[in-house]
Amino acid sequence: MEKRNTEQKELECKRFVLICEICGLYYSGFILILEAMMTTCESGHVSTQQADFYEELISIQSAYKERLGEEELFPKPDKEQALERIKKGIPLIKFDEIRIKGETIKGILDDVCNILIKYELCKEEDIKQLKTDGFDKLKSAALVPDNEMDVLTAFVFTMAERIILGSIADKLRDSIDDSRWLRGYCPMCGNKPQMARLQKEDGKRFLQCGICSTQWQFMRIKCIYCGTEDQNDLRFFWADDDSPYRVDFCRKCKGYIKTIDERKCQEGGEINLFIEDLSTAYLDILAVEQGYQTSRGDKTGGGSIQAMQ
C-alpha cells in the first residue's frame, strides 16, 4: 500500500509539473517542494492547496486591475487607427507606448513573491535575489519573458504582464470589431489563445487570450495555429459523452486547444475560461500524451514597457 501511494504521489507530481509547463508556471526550485503541494487525497486527486495558490494569484490580478482602471496606461487609438490596425492584422496594443508607475511594478513583484514564499514554491534566497534586482529587470525588459530571463523572474514577469495588459485591454474593448479579425492570435496583445468556447446561442467559436483575457470570434473549421481548413486534419475528442469539454486538435501541425461547448452546459452562472482552463488540466495531459502541443504564451510581436519613476 505504501509503495502504491508513493507511486501515485510521484505520478501526480509529474503531471502537475506538466500542467505548470503547459500553463507557463514552471520555475526554479519548484521541483523541490512539489511533495508539499501535491499531497494526494484518499481519492487520488491533488490537494486543495493547488487551487488555493491559483485563487490567490487571481485575487492579486483582480485587485491590481481595479486599481489600474483609473490610470492612463496606454493612449486609446481613434476608430480609424484601430480599424486600420485590425485590417492589417496588427494587435492594438503598442508595447513601447505603455506607461506604468515604477511603484506599481514593485508592488506586483512584492505581492507575487509573497505568495510564492507562503506556498514554499521556491527557495527564500531566490526570492531575496529577485527582490534585490528583479525590479530593474521588470521595468526595463521587453514585455515578453525571454530565454535570458531566469525562470523565477519569468514567472513573476508573466503575472505582471497579465495584470498590465489585462487592464489595458479592458479599456480598449469597444475599439475591437472581432468579426473583422478572425485570426489565431489576440487582436489586443498578439498572444495565442488559452481556450475556446462555442457560444450557446448559435455555436459560434470564440477564442480567449491567455494573457489579457480578450475574446474574439474565429472560424469553426480552421486550425488556430497553421490555418488549415482541411476537415480530414481537424479533429476533436470529448472528455466524455455528456461533458461540455473537448479538445480540438490538428493532425497537420499537431497543435491543440481546449474548448467548452456552452450548449452542453447547465443554465445559470457566467463561464470563466481562465478557471475552466485550470480545472480541465487533465485534458492538457491527455493531449500532450498523444503527441499534441499548445502554443499559448507565444506572441506575434513585443516591445518595451516604460516604467515611470
Let me know: does 145 contact 158? Beta carbons within 8 Å.
yes
Instruction: Look at 37-41, 93-97, 105-109 and tell me which has the smallest mean pLDDT.
Output: 37-41
Between the alpha carbon of residue 66 and those of residues 118, 164, 170, 255, 273, the distances in Å are 24, 11, 10, 35, 19
**Is 123 in the same domain as 211?**
no
**Is 120 in the same domain as 202?**
no
List the grid coordinates of 178: 472581432
What is the per-residue pLDDT for 214? 94
pLDDT tier at 196 (50, 70, 90 boundaries)? very high
pLDDT over 90 for what percent of the chain?
Answer: 33
Q: Which amino acid is at 8?
A: Q
What is the per-residue pLDDT for 298? 56
Q: Per the domain annotation, does 263 fall within a domain?
A: yes
Position 246 pLDDT exceeds 90: yes
Let me know: does 189 contact 91? Beta carbons within 8 Å.
yes
Task: Please provide the average confidence, as pLDDT, over all residues in the chain.
Answer: 77
Higher pLDDT, 31 or 296: 296
Q: Per the domain annotation, does 35 fall within a domain?
A: yes
Position 145 pLDDT exceeds 80: no
Higher pLDDT, 140 or 203: 203
Q: Per the domain annotation, does 295 fall within a domain?
A: no
**Is 141 in the same domain as 165?**
yes
**Is 9 in the same domain as 103?**
yes
Higher pLDDT, 64 or 40: 64
Position 153 pLDDT exceeds 80: no
**Is 65 in the same domain as 179?**
no
What is the per-residue pLDDT for 167? 92
Question: What CATH number is associated with residue 270?
Answer: 3.90.1670.10
**Is 165 in the same domain as 181?**
no
**Is 212 in the same domain as 169?**
no
pLDDT tier at 229 (50, 70, 90 boundaries)? very high
Position 185 pLDDT exceeds 50: yes
**Is 159 in the same domain as 215?**
no
Residue 87's SS3 state is helix
Q: Region 185-193: what's the mean pLDDT?
A: 94
pLDDT tier at 3 (50, 70, 90 boundaries)? very low
Higher pLDDT, 306 or 158: 158
Q: Region 176-201: what's the mean pLDDT?
A: 91
Instruction: Look at 1-15, 73-87, 93-107 and tell me which has the smallest mean pLDDT.
Output: 1-15
Give the DSSP H/E element, type plus range, for residue 266. none
Position 306 pLDDT exceeds 60: no
**Is 201 in the same domain as 163?**
no
Q: Count of domains in the chain?
A: 2
pLDDT, one tens digit per residue, over 48-62 is: 777 788 788 888 988
**Is 203 in the same domain as 169?**
no
Q: Per the domain annotation, does 296 fall within a domain?
A: no
By residue range, what is the domain housing residue 152?
A: 2-174+303-308
The Cα angle at residue 24 between residues 165 and 217, in degrees rounded to 5: 55
Q: Region 111-122: what's the mean pLDDT?
A: 84
What is the per-residue pLDDT for 146? 54
pLDDT, one tens digit per residue, over 250-263 is: 999 999 999 999 99
Q: Region 284-301: what's the mean pLDDT?
A: 76
Higher pLDDT, 95 or 153: 95
**Is 27 in the same domain as 144?**
yes
Position 305 pLDDT exceeds 80: no
Q: Per the domain annotation, does 47 fall within a domain?
A: yes
**Is 53 in the same domain as 9?**
yes
Higher pLDDT, 295 or 85: 85
Read off the pTM: 0.78
Q: State the virtual CA torsion across 223, 228, 233, 235 in degrees, nearest 10.
A: 20
Q: Per the domain annotation, does 190 fall within a domain?
A: yes
DSSP 161-221: HHHHHHHHHHHHGGG--GGGT--SS-TTT-BPEEEEEE-TTT--EEEEETTT--EEEE-SS
How far apart CA 184 and CA 192 sit, in angstroms, is: 7
Q: Per the domain annotation, does 154 fall within a domain?
A: yes
Higher pLDDT, 298 or 293: 293
Position 154 pLDDT exceeds 80: no
